Structure 1
Amino acid sequence: EKFQSDGTAQIHIDQRLEDIVNRMFQRCFDDKKYKQAIGIALETRRIDIFEKAIKEANHSPEMLTYAFKITMQLLQNRKFRTVVLRILVHLYLNLQVPDFISVCQYLIFLDDPDQVADILQTLVRGTTDQMLMAYQIGFDLYESATQQFLNKIQDALRVQAPIPITFDKQQGIIKDEQQGGEITIGVHMQFLIKSNHADLLILKQIKDAVRNSVCHTATVIANGYMLSGTTSDQFFRDNLEWLARATNWAKFTAATSLGVIHKGHIKEALNLMSAYLPKDSTGNSPYAEGGGLYALGLIHANHGGDIIDYLINQLRSNSTQTDAVCHGACLGLGLAAMGTARSDVYELLKTNLLLEDTVAGEAAGLAMGFVMLSTGSAQAIEDMVQYAQETQHEKILHGLVIDIVLVQYGRLEEADALIEQLQRDKDPILRRSAMYTVAMAYCGTGNSAAVRKLLHVAVSDVNDDVRRSTVKSLGFLMFCIDEQMKNIDRFDALYDDLRAEQRDLKKKLEQKLKQKTLIATMGNVSEGIRDFNERIQEYIGLLACFPLILNIQRSGSEFMRNLQHRSLSTISDFNSVVHRNQVLNHVVLAEINFFQKEKVKDFNLYMKILMNEQIQFYEKITSELHEAAVTFS
């Protein structure tokens, strides 16, 4: 059977060309080069040869594994890949000892929960070894499948099983908790608790060293990161008076950080967060209540269960209340219902989006994307794009941009029509959404057509932010592709050409951030920083630039003070979430330009000074706002 390049319709091929390819196939079979035959068969869309090569190799596990690997890595057309995966499922099931574990993994990609349920039902009624295999498949399904897929399996099992789905272990029947993930979540949480070696003294020293609202929030966030999933909130308990100083959105962040710390503690989530959840009697800050609802979503992220109904009720009852509560409820509901594609949740979030409240609307837009994650829902995309083109609120538009991207995650060529539509839009924010959609639809594939599209827009679009987003998207496109690391020099050359055409400092930073993302995923840092000393101004990066700026600031140059004053004089409230990143960007860009003028050469000595004098940094900064920005980062 022959396919077009899009994997759908049959086309006419010159018989002479086909004869040449057939002779090549025969040569591969004669020489027993079955892997070469499989590769050529996939490139030429010859399903018959693909299947024949695996059978000629006696269905060896090595050959089947190789076939699956190149199918997932090289076939970037969903329709044709579905055909190939169906062939592999058929071949695996026809083995003398069927490999049900691999089959179930393939069925996840094929979105066929009914066949998975049939396999599980067969295994649990078989021998002890088959029952154990069913348990293992249950664990694997939780690790690999979406909530929607798992829910469909459980629904199918309830229909097929002659007894309730909550089975008795001794009868060899899988429990709901296995596929639902409760066992895996509990074991993972216990591992984090036992392996927790976080040094709370570090947090105490940070807390004592910095005493302003911005750094108060940063310390709370740092505590959440350090103790994520460990359930250890001792630092908060020891510093309740200090924590009580938080106001407005800082209260929201403090409550949210508890959700990060207690991530996975699903059985006690409501009890743990009870002090921060909305109650009938007034008393709690709406920001704390919103943060508490968001924390519940973090605790139950991608494992909603009954908490979804609780968050739905909270969002309905608080829809006319403060925007902070609705903001937290929307985010929490989106995380808990991630990937479920539940229509009732989606419609509720859509209702809150249409209220035209900027704070709640932005969160509702993000949450809609979480719920419809990777579904490619045409109706959802139509709703989002239409409202994005109509709304006058930029915050809501930013939420919808990410929403659209999440829905198209991993959809490959199915997202092409939407990408073209958004790319032609006059609004630069929607054009930026098109670039991010390319990144997510082809994430980790290295698709050459997508790379060419991004590189073209990176030098042709008139908007700086759109061009920056294209270069950043390249990092997602090449994410975790080991084979591409050897070609990093070639990519560097492409980026150098890009910089030669467009002298845009912000885009340079995004290019280097993208390159370092690639290097970080491969674990090869030394190669990436080999020329750091020679090109330090380009390799600073978005995170490393702040300590560099700080050391430059100590020089007290008039040039530096003037730049800083121009960057920050228009911002009256640095604590504003809306302006914080803008302030940081202005300071970064201004001071990196100064850094280039200074031409600092000896980076090793420079970093030694940084390490030896880090305690004195806070005492010698000339601007209080600058100190806050640097310390927060």
Structure 2
Amino acid sequence: MLTLLNRWRSQPGGPSNASAFIRVLESPKSSVSDKVLVLKAFNDWDVLVNTWFEVADALPAVEKLLDVTAFPEHSSAALLVSKVYFCLEQYERALEFALRGDFNVVPAPRVGLGNDAEYVNKIIETAIDTYKIMSQQGIAAPQQLRELVDKIVARNLDNREIWYVISLGFETTNLPMIEKAISAMPAELNVKNQTTLVETLNRVVNGAFDRSFRFKVINTVIKTYLKCPSPDMSKICECYVLTDNAESAADTITDLISRNLSTRSYQIAFDLYETASQGFLDRVLRRFEQQEQPADAKSMEKVHSILKGHETVKAYLDFYVRHNHTDSVLMEEIKENIRTASAHNALLISNGLMQYGTTCDDFLRNNLSWVSKATNWNKFNAVASLGLIHHGQEASAMKVLDPYLPKESVEGFGFKEGGAMLAYGLIHAKHGDATAMSTLAQWLKTAENEPVRHGACLGFGIAGLGSSSVSGYEKIREVLQRDEAVSGESAGIAMGLIMAGNLNQEVFNELKQYTVDTQHDKTQRGIRTGLACASFGLQGDAEPYITEAIGAKSNPMLRSTGICMLSMAYAGTGSPDVVRRLLEKVATDPNLDVKRYATIGIGFVLSKDPNTCLSYVSMLTEHFNGHVRYGAAMALGIACAGTGNMEAIGLIEPMISDKEGFVRKGALLSLSLIMCQQTDYTCPKVNGFRKQLLKKIGEKNEDSLVKFGAIIAQGLLDIGGQNAAVSLHNSDGQPDMGSMVGMMCFLHGWFWHSMHFFIALAAKPSCLVMVNENLKIPVLDYVCHANSQKFAYPPRAESKKDKDIKKVETVVLSITGKKNALKKAAAAEEKKRREAAAAAALHAAAQSSSSASGGAAAGAAGEDEKMEVDQQGKPKKEKAPEKDTKPIHRLCNPARVITAQRNLITISDPRSYSPMKPLYKGGIIVSDRIDKEREEKLVSEVVAQVSLPASSSNAELKPPQPFEINLTDY
């Protein structure tokens, strides 16, 4: 048999017509040794390339050999079957039999067509894909497949292809594989390995991974990354925040100060204040107290000041006040179009958003009689809006709010006092120090009526956001147990704000049971929002609570609570499984609140990936159910906030004309979120949308709900004096607790108007503030490599006085015709007398200045004949300002830099300062002064507006001067 095979293989043109040898495999009379020889011959690619289509007909016979226990060459038979299936392009079957055969990961060295290499690579590719799919679906891979993957991984590690193995570990969420790849790195890490570790951190930080898996990977990577000669400590501290490792973050800062790297420690402290919760920062400060004081006590004192928020609040307050660009004329125009209490309330809230952090309350001062029309809860909101206006002005908070705070007894029903307490919380939002919290706790304890308790609860919750204070939680719980509707609603929200990101079994059981027991739907809705806030970022840790809530078949309030918890627990993760669960509830749950919140939840989960959100939500914008359409609009607004995404705008614009008023309101709010701080250059539709808002506000027949939404939308467009933008992520791209929680509370505005204030938690200043090693703002210029018009403020609205007055038609009197005839005759005679003497001169003049002389003559002739009406009303024509066409422009520190502009910014003099992080990150950046000998100039501080409200002033208007009128001439 062997001789026949050799002759057949060596025949000219290669082997062909293999039917005789195939019969050997099929015949039961053939000897085992002959079958083995034939199998080995066919396994050679030189033979199989020309005969695989004949062998394919005999596959059943070859597969039967695998079932014969006594057959010695099972591996050869399985390998032949695998290769034939490979030729048939049935790769899954080829992998199945390759695993049963003696499959070699490394292709055999050959010369020629390289079929073996092609086969091996395809089997490896199919094996990896199958392993990924099974891992993602939670199916245990068979032992043979795991062994093959281990061989592939070992081969890659031998070839130093570490990043490939790490990527495979991420795609299959295989922690041991990632640990094996990292441990395979050499002791002395080179630049390539350091880059691999940084990429690993970026991948795990930005990817949609389970929380526990993320923590384990980060801890594994950091242990190795710290061995690098110069690790990025900012990146490491970012990871400490994600893993909730406050102690290591504190140790890192202390170590930097001890190594005379104070400037870098300041930058890390600023970043921690921006990204970490209050509870995390408190643990960092407590860790400092347990350590020995470093030699550089002044640097540690500055770090304390930064982590307590004093420096950030001061810098942002200076920026907002310095760059305030609120359009007061626009506010007056909106005010003139307001005819209802609802719109009056909306403008008070909108004014607070527009003036957020600017300390400018001129609109309220200049319209005291109009503001005084606010009654009951409108009065509550009017006073509460001062908290937005004076946000960050913590030292003067009591002075600003003193006229409204309760004295010995509460006036009336306490709406003014309750609003003042919420305002106090808004001034200290996310930054409630011990003094502020004790003050709010005292007000809460002594509150005598529901509006006061309502304002105190909300103020306490927003000031203590994320503090996880057990004592604060218990104080709010006492209000909840009073079983009042309004204060119960605020108490449920406040409890969730305090425990944000730190939900536990005890809190969940308590609030869930109270939801079932209470008869107040307002309290139930407040607890729903509170539990959603408490679930932020917990991912898999919140699954037991979410499953229990969603599983309440007979209680739609608990089901909607579970949906909100699911959305917040996975906010910003981009998890496709969570999105599928939400879509399932949109389709199957009969409750409208569940449908609406499930649709909105898609925006929270996919807030990092607007394009994916568009693909999921696009069809829902045309859903037959109005609540789903509203949810789709808000989901797009959340996911695309501040991006100016034209595709999202195109989907939402038709909804402005929806038949349902609440859908039209949602469309306006969503568009304002998307177009916030956009220009004609970044979003061509923004100016048209601004005009559309004013049109909606002014239309008499428009629904009051839509007008309310349009006025709030205007406030969102110009939030922070047009110097802020709504963003749900921090500068590192991670979901921001304050922003996500603020957006969830803002959505509660569907039920309660006062919750619209909470959107300010998601407002991020569009600034670039460079500070020196003394935390002072130096005089410094930036260069923006783009035309200044591309990122300029929107044009201000024109006041009525400035608008062009239409020209009034001239009134022609009856005597005018007679006078015209006489003057025409006199002009004709004069013309005849001059024709002879000056014909040539007149002919030349006619060609050079006929139009000018004719116009002057007409003006002179008509001067006495025409009676001009309202002659003084004609405005003087002014030349339009010339547009800046320069390709670059300069900005002064601190500068207004919007998101689209960040990548275009550089320091005008790179030799002056060395920033601790890239300028495109924005925010507060600490810098080292390069030239220490050069004199450093500092930016003069801006004085914030701190004064008592105009209503408290005792000054009286002076009477007008006396005058006399003589009527004898009339």
Classify the TM-score, shorter chain. 0.7 to 0.9
Query: Out of 79, 82, 90, which is 2:212 matched to?
Result: 79
Cross-structure match for 2:625: 504
Q: Structure 1 residues 244 and 453, CA, compared in 2 at 3 Å: closer, same or farther? A: same
Q: Conserved in 2, the CA contact under 8 Å of 1:480 and 1:521?
A: no
Kindly indicate whether residue 217 of structure 2 is the aligned counterpart of residue 138 of structure 1. no
Q: Distance between the aligned counterparts of 1:266 and 1:617, measured in 2?
A: 35
User: How do residues 110-129 of structure 1 correspond to structure 2 at under 5 angstroms?
Assistant: 110-127=243-260
Kindly indicate whether residue 610 of structure 2 is the aligned counterpart of residue 471 of structure 1. no
Deviates further, 386-395 or 56-65: 56-65
Q: Per-residue displacement from partner, 1:165-221 (whole Å, max 9, x unpaired)?
A: xx852x665442111111011101101111111121221222233243222212211
User: How do residues 150-229 of structure 1 correspond to structure 2 at under 5 angstroms?
Assistant: 150-162=281-293, 168-169=297-298, 173-229=301-357
Q: Distance between the aligned counterparts of 1:366 and 1:627, measured in 2?
A: 26
Q: Distance between the aligned counterparts of 1:189 and 1:104, measured in 2?
A: 26
Q: Conserved in 2, the CA contact under 8 Å of 1:228 and 1:261?
A: yes
Q: Distance between the aligned counterparts of 1:616 and 1:138, measured in 2?
A: 46
Partner AA of 1:351 in structure 2: E
Q: Conserved in 1, the CA contact under 8 Å of 2:458 and 2:491?
A: yes
Q: Distance between the aligned counterparts of 1:271 and 1:516, measured in 2?
A: 37
Kindly indicate whether residue 437 of structure 2 is the aligned counterpart of residue 308 of structure 1. yes
Q: Distance between the aligned counterparts of 1:260 and 1:285, measured in 2?
A: 23
Partner AA of 2:373 in structure 1: R
Q: Distance between the aligned counterparts of 1:62 and 1:420, measured in 2?
A: 40
Q: Distance between the aligned counterparts of 1:81 and 1:627, measured in 2?
A: 44
Kindly indicate whether residue 407 of structure 2 is the aligned counterpart of residue 279 of structure 1. yes
Cross-structure match for 1:357: 484
Cross-structure match for 1:446: 574
Q: Distance between the aligned counterparts of 2:700 and 2:140, measured in 1?
A: 73
| Partner-residue secondary structure (3-state), 1:40 | helix
Deviates further, 455-464 or 432-441: 455-464
Deviation at 1:612, TM superposition (A): 9.4
| Partner-residue secondary structure (3-state), 1:392 | coil
Question: Structure 2: where are the runs of 5+ without partners?
Answer: 1-131, 667-683, 713-970
Q: Conserved in 1, the CA contact under 8 Å of 2:617 and 2:632?
A: no
Q: Distance between the aligned counterparts of 1:155 and 1:411, measured in 2?
A: 24
Deviation at 1:483, TM superposition (A): 6.8
Partner AA of 2:555 in structure 1: D
Q: Structure 1 residues 137 and 490, CA, compared in 2 at 3 Å: closer, same or farther? A: closer
Q: Distance between the aligned counterparts of 1:627 and 1:462, measured in 2?
A: 26
Q: Distance between the aligned counterparts of 2:693 and 2:526, measured in 1?
A: 41
Deviates further, 212-221 or 258-267: 212-221
Q: Conserved in 1, the CA contact under 8 Å of 2:211 and 2:540?
A: yes
Q: Distance between the aligned counterparts of 1:491 and 1:626, measured in 2?
A: 24
Q: Structure 1 residues 240 and 285, CA, compared in 2 at 3 Å: closer, same or farther? A: farther
Cross-structure match for 1:554: none
Q: Distance between the aligned counterparts of 1:613 and 1:529, measured in 2?
A: 15
Q: Tell me: higher relative CO, structure 1 or 2? Use CA pairs within 8 A at least 6 residues apart.
A: 2
Q: Conserved in 1, the CA contact under 8 Å of 2:342 and 2:704?
A: no
| Partner-residue secondary structure (3-state), 1:268 | helix
Question: Structure 1: where are the runs of 5+ without partners?
Answer: 533-537, 550-582, 590-603
Q: Structure 1 residues 350 and 240, CA, compared in 2 at 3 Å: closer, same or farther? A: same
Q: Structure 1 residues 617 and 354, CA, compared in 2 at 3 Å: closer, same or farther? A: closer
Deviation at 1:417, TM superposition (A): 1.3
Q: Conserved in 2, the CA contact under 8 Å of 1:131 and 1:173?
A: no
Q: Distance between the aligned counterparts of 2:532 and 2:697, measured in 1?
A: 41
Kindly indicate whether residue 661 of structure 2 is the aligned counterpart of residue 528 of structure 1. no
Q: Structure 1 residues 438 and 53, CA, compared in 2 at 3 Å: closer, same or farther? A: farther
Q: Distance between the aligned counterparts of 2:160 and 2:373, measured in 1?
A: 73
Deviates further, 48-57 or 397-406: 48-57
Q: Structure 1 residues 383 and 54, CA, compared in 2 at 3 Å: closer, same or farther? A: farther
Deviation at 1:111, TM superposition (A): 1.3
Q: Per-residue displacement from partner, 1:518-543 (whole Å, max 9, x unpaired)?
A: 34465421x3355x6xxxxx7544xx
Q: Per-residue displacement from partner, 1:538-596 (whole Å, max 9, x unpaired)?
A: 7544xx34xx77xxxxxxxxxxxxxxxxxxxxxxxxxxxxxxxxx9549989xxxxxxx
Partner AA of 1:528 in structure 2: A
Q: Distance between the aligned counterparts of 2:149 and 2:693, measured in 1?
A: 68
Deviation at 1:222, TM superposition (A): 1.8
| Partner-residue secondary structure (3-state), 1:232 | coil
| Partner-residue secondary structure (3-state), 1:251 | helix
Kindly indicate whether residue 686 of structure 2 is the aligned counterpart of residue 621 of structure 1. no
Q: Per-residue displacement from partner, 1:77-103 (whole Å, max 9, x unpaired)?
A: 222221111112212221122432222
Kindly indicate whether residue 382 of structure 2 is the aligned counterpart of residue 251 of structure 1. no
Partner AA of 1:161 in structure 2: E
Q: Would you tell me which structure has more helix in proportion to its own residues?
A: 1
Q: Structure 1 residues 86 and 228, CA, compared in 2 at 3 Å: closer, same or farther? A: same
Q: Structure 1 residues 142 and 23, CA, compared in 2 at 3 Å: closer, same or farther? A: same
Q: Per-residue displacement from partner, 1:458-504 (whole Å, max 9, x unpaired)?
A: 2111223212221221111111226736xx446646x49x94xxx42
Deviation at 1:105, TM superposition (A): 1.4
Cross-structure match for 2:551: 424
Cross-structure match for 1:600: none
Q: Conserved in 2, the CA contact under 8 Å of 1:134 and 1:174?
A: no
| Partner-residue secondary structure (3-state), 1:275 | coil
Q: Structure 1 residues 626 and 360, CA, compared in 2 at 3 Å: closer, same or farther? A: closer
Q: Count matched residues.
A: 553
Q: Conserved in 2, the CA contact under 8 Å of 1:423 and 1:430?
A: yes
Query: Out of 368, 385, 400, which is 2:512 matched to?
Result: 385
Query: Out of 438, 454, 469, which is 1:342 matched to?
Result: 469
Cross-structure match for 1:64: 197
CA RMSD of aligned residues (A): 3.4
Cross-structure match for 1:37: 165
Q: Conserved in 2, the CA contact under 8 Å of 1:584 and 1:629?
A: no
Deviates further, 202-211 or 177-186: 202-211
Q: Structure 1 residues 91 and 343, CA, compared in 2 at 3 Å: closer, same or farther? A: same
Q: Per-residue displacement from partner, 1:204-243 (whole Å, max 9, x unpaired)?
A: 2222332432222122112111111111111112222222
Deviates further, 10-19 or 391-400: 10-19
Q: Distance between the aligned counterparts of 1:479 and 1:631, measured in 2?
A: 24
Deviation at 1:48, TM superposition (A): 2.6
Q: Distance between the aligned counterparts of 1:159 and 1:442, measured in 2?
A: 35
Q: Distance between the aligned counterparts of 2:702 and 2:300, measured in 1?
A: 68
Partner AA of 1:373 in structure 2: A
Q: Structure 1 residues 90 and 184, CA, compared in 2 at 3 Å: closer, same or farther? A: same
Q: Distance between the aligned counterparts of 2:225 and 2:277, measured in 1?
A: 23
Deviation at 1:613, TM superposition (A): 12
Query: Out of 240, 247, 272, which is 1:107 matched to?
Result: 240
Cross-structure match for 1:574: none
Q: TM-score, normalised by structure 1?
A: 0.79
Kindly indicate whether residue 525 of structure 2 is the aligned counterpart of residue 398 of structure 1. yes
Say which one has the larger Rg.
Answer: 2
Q: Conserved in 2, the CA contact under 8 Å of 1:57 and 1:63?
A: no
| Partner-residue secondary structure (3-state), 1:276 | coil
Q: Conserved in 2, the CA contact under 8 Å of 1:381 and 1:407?
A: no
Q: Distance between the aligned counterparts of 2:665 and 2:357, measured in 1?
A: 33
Q: Per-residue displacement from partner, 1:366-395 (whole Å, max 9, x unpaired)?
A: 000000000122211111111111111100
Percent of paired sites with the same residue: 27
Partner AA of 2:283 in structure 1: K
